[in-house]
A and B are shown apart, each in its own frame.
Chain A
Amino acid sequence: MDMWERCVGILLLVFSIAYLAGALSLPMGRPNQPGPGIFPVVLGIALVAVSIFHVVKVFLAKSPAKNRDEFPYGKDLLRVMGVVGVLVAYGLFLETLGYIVTTLVLFIWVLRFLGMRSWARLVLISIFGSAGSYYFFKVILSTPLPSGILFP
């Protein structure tokens, strides 16, 4: 009886069915003239079959899987959620706000959330980390990082 394992098992099954449905809409071709759909369809059928098997197994299982690890709770969960949150925000705002701003926020947020106490050092490291890496990647390695609206 493990809610997480069941949820993940069902989500995998849903994904497999959706994938198979998508694959079936592709042209299959004939066996001697294979089309773009043939491999995805075969794969989709196999995936659905294995996922059903897995879901049944998980629902019948009395004890959690061997490598199953407990999800964190309380303060530990908060830390993980903090990192997840800033990552999602990073993915959404990188292009509009630009590399320096988003990376600065990422540094400050992560350092603070994971327990760095001194604000002065924290801000210093963050500024150095974001500006320094911008200089390193953009100027030395000429990676075209987005500069954003603040530094057009």
Chain B
Amino acid sequence: MKEQELKKVKEYKYGFTTDIESIRAPKGLNEDVIKFISNIKKEPSWMLEWRLKAFKRLKNLKEPNWQKPKYPKINYQDLYYYSAPKSASEKPKSLSEVDPKLIETYKKLGIPLQEQKKLSGIAVDAVFDSVSVATTFKDELTKKGIIFCPISEAIKNHPELVKKYLGSVIPITDHYFATLNSAVFTDGSFVYIPPNVRCPMELSTYFRINDSETGQFERTLIIADKGSYVSYLEGCTAPMRDENQLHAANVELVALDDAEIKYSTVQNWYPGDKNGKGGIYNFVTKRGACRGKNSKISWTQVETGSAITWKYPSCILQGDNSVGEFYSIAITNNHQKADTGTKMIHLGKNTKSKIISKGISAGQADNTYRGLVRISSKADNSRNYTQCDSLLMGNKCGAHTIPYIENKNLTASIEHEATTSKISDEQLFYCNQRGLNQEEAVSLIVNGFCKEVLQQLPMEFAVEAQKLVGISLEGSVG
């Protein structure tokens, strides 16, 4: 048993559980639970009303079922919607007040929270189950007028910003999971960059699911005011559990005139074991609005974890000359499934979008790229370039590319390229003959395949991501 555990930990090194006393909401989904969440977070009444409105709407919505990876019916009444370490029930005022057990947990995950051991130039907000437990570099950011805090704090301290922008990109009526999130969201990060400020460091949120039978419903809102710039990165891990856990986040980005937001994700939720038992259902809604002219939103995602990944980080290109980008690596191994891609909605004139998607399938996994490019009648001279490449390893996995293109403007230019390839025995033999073992060879070839996307990551994370790409595919050839 012990050995088995060890072997498992080797396969997914973030699979440990932190033994910590937690406060939970009563099980189930109902108005009382929503009131409980709002109450424990000491939210103003407008927020509770907002949540209840979403919940009311949810009752009339049906769970979507058009995606390729199917999953057993989720019993929404059998989940905990709020779980937080008891020690964090009063948000610690400084890092010295943070429960050492939590500090230790993040240390194990490679995220130092003590600022003296700071991750060079990166401010971190650490979210543990349903609460933010620590945010680093707050003072330094505050000097520049940047707000980087848990969203639960922003609701209390910056209600004017939250009221104005929350739900403005993903309306509470949007779709089942987005609406569910609006009703029960617990924590996440809030970022506001004032006009003409270039955020001096990477902002980063580290999400950790710890408790069992809980869903994590985080909410992130990033606003880049006129002429500002911010680069933001999120990372995610969870313990290994035999049950499937739901992660349904909403992320909203707003870029005003001449502003730029770069949003990177390294998603490494527990993928389930080799036989497909357990793992996270990663059903996430991410959407950015290029609201101002000349604004830019760039999504980069490296998706290696989760039993099922189902998400389409999208850009609504409202402002004239705005730019949307989507760079994606989705790796599925063993029994993992992914249905991911993007939506580029061109509304303004001279808007540009670029989609680079790299899907890698191994084992018995199934990987789908699904993307929408929509050019509206007013979006004169808009351009889109899409490139979807799939790489297959072995002969039991699947790769699918489903592009949707809707064009209502004759001046638009739309390009779509797609390739499917397989790592050949010849390529592996060639690498082996030069001294590389099977895993090194696969890692080299796959990293080469994803290079265009990896290059988009902030440098500090690119190296980590490269390693992760290699590790995710270990044992997939042999």
A, B co-complexed: no
